[in-house]
Structure 1
Amino acid sequence: MQRTTLGRVNRIASLAVLPVMLLAILAFSRQAQRQSTATPPTEGLLVVAGLRTDQLTLLDLARQTSASLALPAAPHELATIQNRLYVTLTRADLLAEIDPHAPGLLRLLSLDGRPHGLAASPSGPVLYITLGDANALVALDAASLRELDRWPTGQTPHAVAIAQGIPHLAAARADRVETVRPTGGTSAPAGRLPETIAALPDAVVAASYLDGNLHIYHPVTLQPNATLHLGGGPVRVIPLDHHTVAVALQQADRVAIVDLAAAKIVRLLDVPARPDGLCLSPSGAYLAVASNGDSSVTVFQTSHWRIAARLQVPQGPGACLWLPG
């Protein structure tokens, strides 16, 4: 691993920050106009990764302003620790540390092996990063960006999540989910091409893109609890509360809301083409869905699942993260 020099980072940052007006301030769809009880979001900072534009778009919903931050390569996954934003730049073999409120690029760290999945430990300032070509999971100290540990994984580890303090990952080409522990991990089948994984207090869920299934496991042991067929190419899953998840169905242009206790789809949300990023607002009152094929973000009010806003963003949005203001 090798850090870029601070001078180089500062030169990149000074050229990259381009404040702009909010691209589409709470532009309602026809459905939202008919459903006047949906309240537009005014909380937090919504960060959207631009896969085709090599930049982040940062939407300050309280101030109704926006900024864009250019990066050395396309941003893939996002995580936050102590007011810092961390971004994997897969095609450049880099991890970026960003001040999201400036916004500004603070540090770049070289990580050979195509860094992709990213998760922050809730118990300490540790980042877990999957290396898709190196078939490994790396733990970094967030303060120093020093490597703490490294573990081998199944082929092409993609997403990673932390359950009960233990990293769980989806090994996409190995068709399985895995836990990583110093004393030895566990694994379980996860259908064909599992690309996403999420952790809840009493469950870990992974979705297999090619067969369209959502797999529900007991944390740590990975004992299978249930499998639910969703179809539609599930590409990302996030928790909404202790027993409910949202799943982006990229081929179906929908988001499924799933009750894990009942192993049942409780709602299907229609969204623009190729939904990808999912992020919950700090209060939990809104769910944002980034649509890669439409270059837009649809915001739903979670109390009744009506559209509260449609925001236009630069071409090809992927992951998103909704930070406190």
Structure 2
Amino acid sequence: MDRGPAERQQPDRQPADKESAMNHPLAKDRVVVVTGAGRGLGRAHALAFARAGARVLVNDLGVALDGGDGGETPAAQVAGEIRAAGGEAAVSTDDVADTTGAANLVHTALERWGRLDTLVNNAGFLRDRMLVNLDEDDWDAVVRVHLRGHFLPMRQAAAHWRAETKAGRRPEAARIVNTSSGAGLLGAVGQGSYAASKAGIAALTLVAAEEFAPYGVQVNALAPAARTRMTERVFAETMAAPADDGSFDAMAPENVSPLVVYLGSPASHGITGRVFEAEGGRITVMDGWRRAATTDKAARWDPAELDAPLRALLSKSPDPEPVYGARPPE
């Protein structure tokens, strides 16, 4: 089965020096769970953590792009790559959007290695439809795997870390890295369910960062731009790999993984409740919803008097970033 250019390119399969490649101190001996790690970004994250010295639980349900039966075992393939390069990996095919599956995910890591240090939530798929053509089943399926598929593993991991804290073993560097999207932060035409889910993940990250802090947990999110099964068809021209001339492949998913490894490591101490955009070699701190211009009448407004003050507020406020896929202004 042709898995697309992002999956065919595998520059990290056979490092020349296995020992040094798997002994980078940043994540040495950490236990890391990566969901949706069978392909694309998740695969790149799993391999990068392994190169940084982590023991990786590779989770992937093995489904097709639209969430149907994928007919293969990508998690086992990625775990095999890690082991072939001298690393340590285990496989999970649990459904992370299912209560039992999410519990199994954490249980597997604890049973195999006796600890859990980092959770990377990455699982997802697309069912692109304009809103007027989007039926409830497609909406529910996308929201389930993205938003519920972040919430349930986070809840299970945090419950473990809370129990450790209550037992006097408060984690020193527990980390969660979530996956939002530019579609969730700015919107994307034809991706209403996906954008809503990814916006929810960004907000969920902020809440989790506050709630999990007493257990020694840092929670951040990133909005990656990279070539994956979800993007190489929708944005084929933008995501295409460059000609084989040695130029930088800005859309390679491997470009995003260094930030994920950093945020999932002790080195990121003190960084929590943040959303980063990552594309090629560029990293941007996203500055979410913030109060801009304001006015206060100190009394109830009449609808008929709102036009002038609202337009004045808008004239003093920054223009919103354009929605992905929006029609250019006339």
Asked if Structure 1 and Structure 2 have the same fold, meaning a TM-score greater than 0.5 normalized by the shorter chain, the answer is: no
Report the TM-score, using the length of structure 2 for normalisation.
0.28
Computing the radius of gyration over CA atoms, which structure comes out larger, 1 or 2?
2
Report the TM-score, using the length of structure 1 for normalisation.
0.28
Q: Which has a greater percent of helix?
A: 2
Q: Which has a greater percent of strand?
A: 1
